[in-house]
Amino acid sequence: MTAFQKLVEMPITGRAASYAPAELAERLLPVRPATAGGRRRLNYATHFSLGAMWGAAYGVAALRGLRGQKAANTVFALVYTGDVLFNTALRLYHPTRWSARELAVDVVDKYVQAQATSMLFDRVLDPCRR
């Protein structure tokens, strides 16, 4: 998702980098980076960790017999809904204030992540393929 955001979505939309992952980590953990570089590293580390959780969710779906597009769509629907609800409860997201464009960007970015997770798992990581 990060590569898609940086190489495709942000150049098209002109959107600046989001620090939502860092804000989540700062809200949940006793961590407060002292520098801009430290906050950027926290943002990337949290972003990577959240992506790994999407991967774990896909792995659970695969264990339950879901693969491919059905699994990608199911994982996206469940994880995206949970993401929005969790971040809204923490008052980090305010989806009722989002414009249609902001909502579309959020959905597309995270749907790309679900698709990439599906493709990587099914083609590279799936233990049943070995």
* Mean pLDDT of all residues in 104-113: 93
pLDDT at 130: 57
Q: Does residue 94 sit within a domain?
A: yes
Residue span of the structural domain in which 32 resides: 2-7+18-125
Q: Give the residue from 62, 50, 60 showing the smallest Cα distance to 110.
A: 50
Residue 35 gets the label, from left (phi > 0), alpha (psi -120 to 50) or beta, of: beta
Sign of CA dihedral 27, 31, 32, 35: negative
Please check whether residue 130 lies inside any domain of the structure: no
**Residue 62: inside a domain:** yes
Cβ neighbours of residue 25 closer than 8 Å, sequence gap 6 or more: 31, 42, 45, 46
Number of domains in the chain: 1
Coil, helix or strand at residue 114 = helix
Domain assignment present for residue 102? The answer is yes
Instruction: Give the pLDDT confidence of 2-19 residue by residue, as tens digits.
Output: 788 888 998 999 999 899
Residues 25-41 have a mean pLDDT of 96
Whether residue 60 lies inside any domain: the answer is: yes
Give me the pLDDT at residue 129, please: 65
State the average pLDDT over residues 40-60: 92
Q: Is residue 113 part of a domain?
A: yes
In a domain, 13, yes or no: no
Q: Is residue 34 part of a domain?
A: yes
Predicted TM-score (pTM) of this structure: 0.84
